[in-house]
Amino acid sequence: MNPPDFHKMRIFQKLGRVDAKSLESCDQLLLILPSKPDASHFRQLPQGSKLQRVMRKSVSDSTPAFTSRLSNKKQTQIVAGALSKNASAFEQLTLGRQLVAAASPEKAGSLGICVIGFDSTEQAKICNNILAAALASAFELPSFKSKNSPPGIKSVRLIGVDERVDTARTEAEAHGNNLARWLTTMPPNKMDAVSYADLIRNLAQARGWTYKRFGTKELLKLSAGAFLAVAQGNNNDSASIIRIRYRPGRTNARADLGLVGKGIIFDTGGTNLKSFESMLDMHGDMQGSAVALGILLTISELKLPIAVDCWLALTENRTGPNAYKSQDVVTAANGKTIQTIHTDAEGRMALADTLVLASRDKPGILFDYATLTGTCVSAITTRYSGVFTNRPELHPRLKRTGQNCGERVWPFPIGEEFMEALKSETADFMQCSPKGAGDHILAASFLSEFIENDTPWVHMDLSASDNDGGLGHVGSRFTGFGVRYTMSVILDENLFKAN
Ligand SMILES: [Zn+2]
């Protein structure tokens, strides 16, 4: 199986004054104005006084603020939005998503973006955030309809920018996010653990990453009993842990960054079977792995000078005569024993061994991504994701990153005191508590038992992976949350520079 086609969106820029000719080239124009635009702002636009009249008649505080058409050959459709001067990144991204959605029922073709009334730095930032929404919307998610969907956005034009806007990062992040959403949307019968591994190998080959697949045999040798407990319910030998390596410099360099992703292709809940509603969208339970892969793709496209190892735990969680069950005791790759309580808590089992393998290689820092617990959603809804770390001093930076980039997170505590709730009679600890309160904290505390060498580690419970109607700049319910966030940790928080 092959990864999706990442054809590059054509992005044009027109510097200086907005003229009639550059608007003539747009089928639609997203016009972003300050929240209380005045005549001076409209004077910067051809047919500006007409637009100002339309705005006066429109309902205030609505999104779009107004829509109109220019009297030119293309009858360019104007979709305008208002942004306050201190709007957060999340608010800018959300406006982008809403404006793109309002514009898209029309034949999309060439989409213009014009930001007026902000200083150059702010203008560039807003342009990039609206562009992020356009790139998310333009990307085609897997569809198996017999009729083709109407053509979407073909090109983007940034019109009237003061200076050339650097869009390289936004484009690379869009590719990473799009890949994550594409993989997550894939129906589980079209992409099983074997074809997923296959796709990753093809992607690795095309991008010059090294690829290694640890199948059941290798995992048995590594005594990865926690991962294998989940995999034993499969009716074939499809499960594996995949390692891909990106090395911009020396090929034998230690990883600066380790990425780990939960890749449960379909989660039935196992022997403790899920109900219809909870099982319905469980093809999305591999989103953590897709996000890790999306981050690696973004880093690689930006040719960042950091060495990265990416570990993906791929398996189904099925019922059947061989499936694991409550009270099974298994031994993980680090020798710790686990009393199984609930087979639907398979994510932490699959991750446990994967984290052991990833942290054994002593990466500078390790991040993992998993659609892990319902209690994380109960705690912070599907608008935020939870973060947990064995370096609590990172909490302020982790939280700040979310505010700065628009993929927002909330830190939770972990640690030994929470392991009290996982005390076991038959093994070193229980997999989860039969009681279930604070399961996101217990799950993260459980995972911390599998971090070797005291590796600095951040766990992201992806409660924001699936939000009805989309989130931020992304319009689809599967959000690919975590790609943009992690790039911001690396690039804005300067993770790899002393601080
Ligand atoms: Zn589960």
What is the 3-class SS of 207-232, one letter each residue?
A: HCCEEEEECHHHHHHCCCHHHHHHHC
Q: What local confidence, expressed as pLDDT, does residue 106 receive?
A: 64
Q: What does the pLDDT average to over 394-422?
A: 97
> Distance, CA 344 to ligand 1 centroid (Å)?
4
pLDDT digits (tens, 9 = 90+) for 194-223: 999 999 999 999 999 999 999 999 999 999
pLDDT class for 488, splitting at 50, 70, 90?
Answer: very high
Identify the band that residue 76 occupies on the pLDDT scale cut at 50, 70 and 90.
very high
CA distance 280 to 127: 37
The CA distance from 264 to 450, in Å, is 19
Task: Compute the distance between CA of residue 348 and CA of residue 248 in angstroms, rounded to an integer.
Answer: 31
Work out the average pLDDT over 16-29: 94
At 298-349, the pLDDT tens digits run 999 999 999 999 999 999 999 999 999 999 999 999 999 999 999 999 999 9
Domains of the chain: 10-160 (3.40.220.10), 172-491 (3.40.630.10)
Report how far ligand 1's centroid is from the alpha carbon of 350 (Å).
Answer: 10
Tens of pLDDT, residue by residue over 148-201, are 877 789 999 999 999 999 999 999 999 999 999 999 999 999 999 999 999 999
Whether the predicted pLDDT of 499 surpasses 50: no
Mean per-residue pLDDT over the chain, rounded: 95
Give pLDDT tens digits for 238-263.
Answer: 999 999 999 998 888 999 999 999 99
Q: How confident is the model over 113-153, as pLDDT tens digits?
A: 999 999 999 999 999 999 999 999 999 999 999 988 777 89
Instruction: Say if residue 426's pLDDT is above 50.
Output: yes
Q: At residue 104, does pLDDT exceed 80? A: no
Beta-ladder partners of 211 = 244
Cα 366 from Cα 142, distance rounded (Å): 31
C-alpha–C-alpha distance, residues 240 and 314, integer Å: 5
User: What is the CA(325)–ligand 1 centre distance, in A?
Assistant: 13
For residue 379, report the distance from its CA to the centre of ligand 1, in Å: 18
Q: What is the distance in A from the centroid of ligand 1 to the CA of 250? A: 39
Q: Which of 174, 178, 270, 183 has its CA nearest to residue 231?
A: 270
pLDDT of residue 105: 67
pLDDT at 28 over 50: yes
Residue 4, pLDDT score: 87
Q: What is the DSSP letter of 342?
A: -
The one-character DSSP state at 466 is B
pLDDT digits (tens, 9 = 90+) for 46-71: 999 999 999 999 988 899 999 999 99
Q: What does the pLDDT read at residue 94? A: 98
Q: So which residues are the catalytic ones?
A: 274, 348
User: What average pLDDT does this structure show over 456-480?
Assistant: 98
Distance 373 CA to ligand 1 centre (A): 8
**136 compared with 8, residue with greater pLDDT:** 136
In sequence order, what are the residues at sequence separation of 6 or more whose Cβ sits closer than 8 angstroms to the Cβ of residue 367? 257, 258, 259, 260, 292, 457, 458, 459, 460, 486
